[in-house]
Structure formats: C-alpha cells, structure tokens
C-alpha cells in the first residue's frame, strides 16, 4: 500500500494558521503510514516554534521531494514580513503563495489532499488578489465549474447553494439550473467521498416560513419546489423547509445533508453546534481539500493558545475522503 501524502498550507501568517498546523502535526506528524508537507516560510515556522515546540522530525526543502527523509517536510516559501494580529499585504501574498503551491502539487497528483489553514479576505485584497476565498481559487485553478462549499461534522453535514454573495443578490441566483447543478455535486460527493450509498437531503427555503405558499416571497413556489420535483438524480430530497422550525425541531438529524440557500442560513446553526470541530470541504473538485471552519483569529495570534481541534478534524476528514475515493473509484 502506497504511503499517503498530505500538504498543510500556512494560511494567514499574521493569524493562528501556522500555530494550529504545528499543533496538528504534533498529534499526527510521526504516524508512519503518512508523509506530511507544510508550505510555510522558514521565518514563520521558526517564530511559531518559539511558542509551540515541534514533536515531530522535520526537514526543509526548496521544492517537493517524495523521498524526504523526515515524516514532515517544510516546503520553503518566501519570507514575507510578519505583523501578528492584523491583515497585511505580506500576509495576503504569503497565504496566496502557500495555496498556489498546494493546488499545483495536488493537480499533479504529488499529494493526496490539501488541508488549508484560515486566510483573510482583507489581506488578500491588500495584496491585490481578487478571489473572495479558498473555494473560488480552487475552482478556477482546477477548472471546476460545478463545485459546492460543504461543511462536515459528526452532528450535521451541510452545503450552500450560494457562497460569498451579498444578501441582495441571492434571490436572482436561485435558478433551476443552479439547484440541479448543486444537487448533482453533493449527491455524487455523499456517495463517493463520504460513502453514503443512498443519501437523504433536506432543502431549506429562502423566505421566512419557506414562502408561506407565495405570501412571503415566490422563490419557493415558482422555482425551488418545481425544480425539486423535476430533479432526476437518484437521491431522496425533501423540502423546502422553514429554516427556523427545521433547526428548532432538530430535523437535521433525519437527513444526511442539509442544503441552504445562503451563507449564514447554514453557517449560524452549523457553527453553533460544531464550532471548534467543524470542517469546510469543497465538493466537486478533482482534488481533495479540507479546512477548519473558523477564521484567522488575529486577536489571539502569536499567543500559543489557539485550539487546533478543527484543523485536526480537517485532516481526519481529508484522510477519510481519500480512502473513500479509492474504495469507490
């Protein structure tokens, strides 16, 4: 059996990303069935090591080396200026460089999966990088048109129809084509990536009370309900549900995944239930990428107190998806 290879990105170097990666590698870095790579500048790595002492053997490399002599290889990035606790042009550029390298190696099949540390959209913007987040970068670089931001935990799996969109734009983005596309992606991902042969999916409505039969908005009556009835995928779909009653009555427990219409509709309950252990997963890509479900936490950067539980869960889910894709290929 071939040794599996995983690459961690450094995320925003002014946040907690490097710290939670080293803490996670302290948990898993010496597992003999894996090889780990950490795309990070030497300066950032050593500064982080002053607070979090590595418990794993590591070496540095200018480029990817499949025959690295240590369990963990630090892939050396450019040494940008560190300014802990705030978004800067340097932290945006460093985060971008780390992700770009990781995606390149994943596309080339040099590594099995990427686990990305949190980034700042403000820092990316300061660096002149126009992507709003990881998901959009990954989709463009892998030439993926159909992809879905998905959230994984033991308590609930969830996905978003729209991602980082202003609320005023959401209604016009809900179309039959979009719903069909997202259902295709998440159905395939549930079956192959998460090994759920006959998935059951709940759909949330857009409007209060799921539109109340057209009295509080027409999106459910005119678009969502007819689209669900016309969907030909081999999957059980129910809804649209009124989101407040759906979560209040814990109906999510009856389904394998909950599909929401917009970001906060899903992320508020998901993070309330899973903050610190939830995982962000980009479904529909040819490569595998997971990430913690939290942000850069500038307020505690450099203090050595960040909780790495979500990063550790992100690795565990990445490993699970790698195994399932091999099994269901």
Mean pLDDT of residues grouped by 10 in the chain (329 residues)?
90 98 96 95 97 97 93 96 97 96 96 97 94 86 93 96 92 96 96 96 94 87 93 89 96 98 95 91 96 95 96 97 93
Q: How many CB atoms lie within 10 A of CB 250?
A: 11
Q: Name the H helices within 29-175.
A: 42-49, 89-107, 121-126, 134-141, 167-173
Give me the torsion for CA of 238, 155, 320, 28, rounded to 10°: 160
Tokens of 14: 């002014």
Task: Give exposure, 20-43, as e/b (b: 16+ Cβ within 10 Å).
Answer: bbbbbbbebbeeeebbbbbbbbeb
The alpha carbon of residue 289 and the mean position of all alpha carbons in its chain are separated, in whole angstroms, by 6
Q: For residue range 90-146, what is the model confidence (pLDDT) as tens digits?
A: 999 999 999 999 999 999 999 999 999 999 999 999 999 988 788 888 999 999 999
Q: Where in the chain is the domain with CATH 3.40.718.10?
A: 1-144+285-329, 146-278
State how far the Cα of 173 lies from the Cα of 171, in Å rounded to an integer.
Answer: 5
User: Domain 1-144+285-329 is of which CATH architecture?
Assistant: 3-Layer(aba) Sandwich (3.40)
Nearest partner of 158 among 84, 74, 60, 267, judged by Cα:
267
Q: Answer whether 279's CB lies under 8 Å from 151's CB.
A: yes
Q: Which CATH architecture has domain 146-278?
A: 3-Layer(aba) Sandwich (3.40)
CB of 64 closer than 8 Å to CB of 75: yes
pLDDT score at 1: 53
How confident is the model over 155-166, as pLDDT tens digits? 999 999 998 889
Tokens 């252990």 map to which residue?
Answer: 277
Query: Which ranges in the chain belong to alpha helices (H)?
Result: 17-28, 42-49, 89-107, 121-126, 134-141, 167-173, 176-192, 219, 225-230, 243-248, 263-274, 309-328
Q: Is 217 left (phi over 0), alpha (psi -120 to 50) or beta?
A: left
- Give the C-alpha distances (Å, rounded to integers) separating 166 from 133, 140, 178: 14, 21, 17
Distance CA 19, CA 17 (A): 5
Rounded Cα gap, residues 232 and 226, in angstroms: 12
């Amino acid at each position: 059996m071939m040794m599996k290879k995983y690459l961690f990105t450094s995320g925003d170097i002014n946040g907690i990303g490097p710290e939670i990666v080293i803490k996670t590698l302290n948990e898993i870095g010496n597992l003999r069935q894996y090889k780990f790579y950490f795309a990070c500048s030497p300066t950032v790595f050593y500064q982080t090591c002053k607070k979090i002492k590595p418990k794993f053997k590591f070496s540095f490399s200018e480029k990817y080396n499949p025959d690295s002599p240590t369990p963990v290889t630090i892939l050396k990035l450019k040494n940008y200026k560190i300014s802990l606790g705030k978004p800067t042009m340097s932290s945006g550029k460093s985060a971008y460089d780390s992700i770009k390298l990781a995606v390149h190696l994943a596309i080339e099949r040099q590594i099995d999966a990427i686990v990305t540390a949190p980034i700042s959209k403000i820092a990316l913007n300061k660096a002149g990088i126009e992507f709003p987040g990881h998901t959009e970068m990954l989709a463009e670089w892998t030439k993926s048109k159909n992809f879905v931001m998905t959230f994984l935990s033991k308590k609930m799996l969830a996905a978003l129809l729209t991602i980082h969109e202003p609320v005023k734009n959401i209604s016009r983005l809900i179309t039959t084509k979009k719903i069909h596309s997202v259902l295709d992606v998440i159905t395939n991902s549930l079956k192959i990536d998460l090994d759920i042969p006959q998935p059951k999916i709940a759909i949330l409505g857009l409007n209060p009370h799921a539109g109340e039969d057209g009295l509080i908005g027409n999106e459910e009556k005119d678009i969502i309900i007819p689209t669900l009835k016309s969907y030909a995928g081999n999957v059980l779909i129910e809804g649209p549900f009124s989101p407040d009653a759906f979560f209040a009555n814990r109906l999510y427990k009856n389904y394998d995944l909950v599909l929401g219409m917009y970001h906060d509709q899903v992320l508020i309950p998901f993070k309330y239930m899973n903050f610190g252990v939830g995982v962000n997963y980009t479904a529909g890509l040819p490569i595998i990428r997971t990430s913690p479900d939290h942000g850069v936490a500038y307020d505690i950067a450099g203090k050595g107190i960040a909780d790495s539980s979500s990063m550790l869960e992100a690795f565990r889910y990445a490993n699970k998806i790698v195994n399932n894709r091999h099994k269901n290929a």
